[in-house]
Structure 1
Amino acid sequence: MSTATDTRPAAALLECQTDRATLTEALSTVAVGVPRRPAVPLLGGVLLESRGGHLTLTTTDIDTVVSVRIPDAVNAPGALLVDHVELSKMLGALVKGSRKREADAMPVTLRATVDGHAVLSLGGYTMPLTAYPVEEFPTLPTVPASMAEADRETFTQQARRVLIARGADATLPIFTSVHVQAAPGALTLAATDRFRLAVAEIPATTAATEDRSVMLPAELLSSVLKHCTGDRVRLGVDAASDWAALSCGDLTVLTRTVDAEFPRYERLFPETTASARADRGALAQATVRATAALEASHYTADRDQAGHHLAVTLHPDGRVSVAPVLAEHAETVTAPEHPAEVGGVAESVRVLFGARYLRDALSSLAGDTVTLRLDSPNRPVVFTATDTPGYRHLIMPVRPTS
């Protein structure tokens, strides 16, 4: 995996102690790095190491490394490699029937024995655990220095918004990745599935004086966000741009970067000729109702969810509506109209969207109002909100069939 020197004290007999809740949470966090079907059994293990009096738990599937530190949990230094699933299940089994608060507070001790086994002590029980040779655990890459750091709450909120636009086709890595660009004073995250694009700019402290970008697996980023609990998020990339690191509090995640070139997306954002500013909640509710009408209608029964379209109509006299699209009965469909600040429109403009895409765009924004900007009904439409600074959500409209 790496040419980094392995300094693990494999021969030392580790003994560590913490409470059950802390150990359970740490195991849940590092589970992100455990392969579902390990090619070899020890890759299903979690490595426990003493580092400066603290306990570090580490898992890897070769492409990803996840580590969590538990402060002041080491009684005797050393290293131990145990089966992750077995340990996790045993922590639940030995307190079964206990109240959660009492179970979480129970002390847990893990120790290595001279014959190479592992022993767990919890709730008056002492149980052996499956252990693997520590020296066979893959040598891990060095964590690269931070290239940027940002406020954790801002980073996680904006990252979740961007992740909405990621694709699901694993054969096209470019659409299942998040583009991360560090520029002086800012981090920019972007994701797309070809039909929509979400971009968020986050204030950041950056080390470099020039732009640097990297592609990260979107599913991994989505999985680790809920485990970020520190005040700051730090991102680093090694010199060859092969490995990227995300650190937050006691969590460190290393992952191989995605070898793909993200689209130059700035050219996709239109020169605005038309715009509408309206109540976000009203449009979101209208979208939900129009989508439900599509699902209830026999005229759309033969379509899958991807074929459900909604029409957003901007009227020059200050109204906007969201209506279900029934192509063969378009003239009979009407929908409630909502007040809006409409500009750049001499006559009504009707834009078609995929129902799910419109719903996701509106839900990704915060605040009372939303603004739509476009230059034509067949060109990308950009959604923004003053209460979601630095975030833009672009959708490619559906071209009318007639």
Structure 2
Amino acid sequence: MTVAQWDGRSLAADLAYVKRVTGLSARRGVLAPLRTVTITAAGGVGTLTHYNYDAGVVVRAQVTGDLAATTVDFPELAAAVKAAGRGVVELERVGNRLVVAGPDGRSSVAVFAKGGDVPVMPTVGGTAVLVADTGVFATAVAAVAPAAGDDATLPMLTGVYLDADDAGVVSLATTDRFRLAATELATAAPADLATPLLVPAKVLAAAAARVAKRDGSVSVYADGGYVRISGPDSDVVVRLIDAQFPRWRNLLPAAGDDRMRARIAAADLARRLKKLSVFSVRVTMAAAGLRVEAGDLETGQVSTTFEVAAHDVDERAVGMVAGYNPEYLASLLACAPGDVELTWSPDAQSRRPMTIEFGGVRHLLMPVRLPDAAAVAA
């Protein structure tokens, strides 16, 4: 009989993280072995492990006591930990049951009887292809993740594309055809990426969000069609997306391209856009600000209008009108910590893709058609 003590709040958070990484919350009707989690404690370290052939995660925490490796149903364990409360939670193996006891209650979970059917997580070792500070890594991933697609029929658009140039400088990019995001990742040493990686965006974003709250470094390993993201207290293993990512670099403006420019406070505009429930907004550039109009633009019925201050506005941009999806625009602006530079081409009067630039991050947002676009161009 073995028993270990966990912090209840920490254990609940770690179980929620396992669910976010592996998609367990959406896996209804899945085979029982793919719904399990293995929990163990030894030497002051408690470990949660789950793998379902697509993605796996190992989470480590400081604990007291010991617990032999015990495999149980994940939803049942999560429910038992929630019922136990947020104080110290004791986990004790008693025969074929795992007893979970805390300040709010005591319950037990059946030990999974067919342990041999539980899939074994692949080993992804060797030398790390890149190493970066946790905060730097998290910031870079968070800057590109919103532009990734979620259409399973277009898998090449659901990942974060990572590659490295001859100098070992790493680029990250995502696109869903309407948005494009790209940035460079500052690594501890030149990266050694033999081939580009296309990592599922939801998994990478979840892993990055966790390491953002920890000090230290994150290392990425790639081997045999899998990638491992190793942080201070967790490891994530996921199958790479086997698809061709679009040629994205030529979609962004070149450094020497002539651009009309303006600067705005990203957070203010993103906050206002999130309140709208429309599919498109009309944006008009003025010398002192950006005016946004929302409503039924097809019939000219504008129901909401607001302005956001702008500065350093190129005089050529004054009077410019373009249409954008407010949800998409807000998702890109929300990544910025402060002011952003908006740029447009002085050409293509009826269609104006917008670039959003800040701190080495570049976003591109395709416009939507406005009913009066031709008249504006004239």
Q: TM-score, normalised by structure 2?
A: 0.80
From 274, 285, 293, the equivalent of 2:259 is 274
Counterpart Cα distance in 2 of 1:186 and 1:232 = 20
* 2:2 matches 1:18: no
Q: Deviations over 1:32-85 (max 9, x none)?
A: 336322532232221124566633210122211111112454526x42111222
Paired AA for residue 151 in structure 2: D
Aligned identity (percent) is 25
What's the counterpart of residue 55 of structure 2?
64
Q: Match for residue 135 of structure 1? A: 116
Matched, 1:83 2:73: yes
**Residue identity matched to 2:261:** A
| TM-superposed deviation, 1:213 | 1.8
> Pick from 198, 209, 214: which aligns with 1:230?
214
Are the structure 2 counterparts of residues 14 and 186 from structure 1 closer, same or farther at C-alpha, using a change threshold of 3 Å? farther
Counterpart amino acid of residue 93 in structure 1: A
For structure 1, the residue ranges without an aligned partner over 5 or more in a row are 1-12, 96-102, 296-304
Q: 1:14 to 1:171 in 2, by over 3 A?
A: farther
SS of residue paired to 1:168: coil
Are 2:361 and 1:371 equivalent residues in the alignment? Answer: no
* Secondary structure of 1:231 counterpart: coil
1:118-129 matched pairs, under 5 angstroms: 118-123=98-103, 127-129=107-109
Residues 184-226 of structure 1 show CA distances to partners (whole Å, capped at 9, x for unaligned) of: 4543221111011011212112464456421111222333343
Query: Which residue of 180, 188, 199 maps to 2:182?
Result: 199
After TM superposition, the structure 1 = structure 2 runs for residues 297-316 of structure 1, keeping only pairs within 5 Å, are: 305-306=278-279, 308-313=280-285
1:74–1:393 Cα change, 3 Å: same
Unpaired runs of at least 5, structure 2: none
Calculate the aligned-residue CA RMSD, in Å.
3.4
Q: How do 1:137-152 and structure 2 match up within 5 A?
A: 137-144=118-125, 145-152=127-134
Counterpart of 2:15? Answer: 27
Change (3 A) 1:282 1:118: closer
1:278-310 Cα shifts (integer Å, max 9, x gaps): 332597179649x85xx6xxxxxxxxx33x232
- Counterpart for residue 354 of structure 2: 381
Shift of the 373–58 alpha-carbon distance from structure 1 to 2, 3 Å rule, reads same
Identify if the C-alpha distance between structure 1 residues 336 and 143 changes in structure 2 by more than 3 Å, giving closer, same or farther. closer
State the Cα distance separating 1:390 from its structure 2 match: 1.5
> Residues 288 and 140 of structure 1: is their aligned pair in 2 closer, same or farther, counting only changes over 3 Å?
closer
Residue pairs, 1:310-325, within 5 angstroms: 310-313=282-285, 318-324=287-293
Deviations 1:61-116 (A, max 9, x none): 2211111112454526x421112222222223244xxxxxxx42x24132253xx4
Alignment-derived partner of residue 217 in structure 1:
200
Q: Distance in 1 between matches of 2:327 and 2:208?
A: 24
The one of 179, 182, 204 aligned to 2:161? 179
1:311-338 residue CA offsets vs partner (Å, 9 max, x unmatched)? 333x6xx45533427355499x997695
Structure 1 position 126, deviation (Å): 6.1
Q: Does 1:263 align with 2:253?
A: no
CA distance in 1, matches of 2:310, 2:109: 65
Q: Normalising to structure 1: TM-score of the pair?
A: 0.76
Correspondence 1:352 to 2:323 = yes
> For 1:330 and 1:195, how far apart are their aligned partners in 2?
26
Length, aligned pairs only? 358
C-alpha distance in 2 between matches for 1:25 and 1:337: 38
Change (3 A) 1:90 1:37: same
CA offset at residue 142 of structure 1?
0.3
2-side partners of 1:278 and 1:41: how far apart? 53
